[in-house]
Structure 1
Amino acid sequence: MRPVHTTAVIASALAVGLSACTVSVRPNLTLQASGGNLISGLKPDRGEGSSYAVGENVRINVGTRAAGYVTLVALQSNGYASVLARNVYVQPGTTSFPRAQDGVVYTIAPPRGIQRVRAIFTRVRPTTDLVISGYYDGDRWNTFTNAYVSPYPQADRDVQETFFYIR
């Protein structure tokens, strides 16, 4: 009888302790298009899952293990997607977007909610420009990315995604 009682006390303590926790789910932990482990890091300047108010600026830090081309695409909470940076040549290491020479800032605007940012990396310059504008659901968003990188060998491409919240 004692082992059952101890187990019940432990289970109750865990349930009480977990009831105050917030669980965050990272979107798209595994992407079919991901290939060569070429992106070493991808996060907003305050960290993944951080929060930004409308009107604040955000920078996206992309770490790469090889020289190549980065495209950043944002997917808003309402499903609207847009390109933040297209086929930007980077050296190995961390590059912050927007870069100073780009002459732009990424200013947070509505809609409020989760903002996903996908980095697409290829070692060779993409032969087609990424044309994306419009509304995407999760399946179309992934299908689009897969179609964009499929011409390149898996070892020469990588796709990663991060997120933050707009309040």
Structure 2
Amino acid sequence: MRNAPLSVLALGTLALSLSACTVSVRPNLSLQVQGGNLITNLRPDRGEGGTYAVGESVRLSVSTRSAGYLTLVALQSNGYASVLARNVYVNAGATTFPRAQDGQVYTVAPPRGIQRVRAIFTRVRPTTDLVVSGVFDGTRWNTVTTAYVSPYPQADRDVQETFFYIR
């Protein structure tokens, strides 16, 4: 019984250290990170899971560890996908989309529900354009992304996803 206080102390220390952990679950549970975390941050201006009304503008912040080429693809709640930015050169650090020099605004439009945005980053200029058209389910969405980045070494590519809600 002499060891009982030591084990209680060890369990207490473990509980305190675990209380500082944060677990995030994203809606795309089947997404496998494609690289070495070259994308360090991807979020809408109201934060991941933020809510926007139809007609409001949304901005997306993307941070990368190195310079490279970024493609942003949106997947609507009805499964329709569209490219927001294609093979845009970004420096290391934070970039906000739409960029001022592009003269665009991302205006939220129906359908209402969850809007997923996937960032696809490669250190080298892609030799092909990501082509998305039609309606995608989770499997096809992942297959298209994987096929697009597969020619590049894993150390030179990354794929991350965020989401927000349209009301």
Within 5 Å, which residues of 2 pair with 1:9-20?
none
Letter in 2 for 1:76: Q
* Cα distance in structure 1, aligned partners of 2:43 and 2:32: 20
* Identical pairs, percent: 82
Equivalence for 2:130:
130
* Cα distance in structure 2, aligned partners of 1:152 and 1:30: 21
Residue 82, structure 1, aligned to residue 57, structure 2: no
Residue 115, structure 1, aligned to residue 123, structure 2: no
Residue 63, structure 1, aligned to residue 30, structure 2: no
Structure 2 unmatched runs, 5+:
1-23
Q: CA RMSD in A?
A: 1.3
TM-score computed with the length of structure 1 as normaliser: 0.83
Equivalence for 1:99:
99
Letter in 2 for 1:155: A
Q: Provide the secondary structure at the position in 1 that maps to 2:145.
A: helix
Letter in 2 for 1:32: Q
Q: Provide the secondary structure at the position in 2 that maps to 1:57.
A: coil
Q: Provide the secondary structure at the position in 1 that maps to 2:27.
A: coil
* Gap change, CA 1:37 and 1:25, over 3 Å in 2: closer
Equivalence for 1:156:
156
Across the two proteins, how many residue pairs are aligned to each other? 144
* Cα distance in structure 2, aligned partners of 1:159 and 1:110: 25
Equivalence for 1:143:
143
1:33 is displaced (CA, Å) by: 5.1
Equivalence for 1:44:
44
1:89-109 deviation per Cα after TM superposition (whole angstroms, max 9, x unaligned):
000101000000111100000
* Cα distance in structure 1, aligned partners of 2:30 and 2:91: 25
Letter in 2 for 1:122: T
TM-score computed with the length of structure 2 as normaliser: 0.83
* Cα distance in structure 2, aligned partners of 1:33 and 1:148: 14
> Residues 33 and 146 of structure 1 are in contact (CA less than 8 Å); yes or no, is this contact kept in structure 2?
no
Question: Which range moves more in the overlay, 27-36 or 122-131?
Answer: 27-36
* Cα distance in structure 2, aligned partners of 1:43 and 1:33: 16
1:138-162 deviation per Cα after TM superposition (whole angstroms, max 9, x unaligned):
0000001000000000000000000
Q: Provide the secondary structure at the position in 2 that maps to 1:31.
A: coil
Q: Provide the secondary structure at the position in 2 that maps to 1:107.
A: coil
1:30 is displaced (CA, Å) by: 5.9
1:73 is displaced (CA, Å) by: 0.1
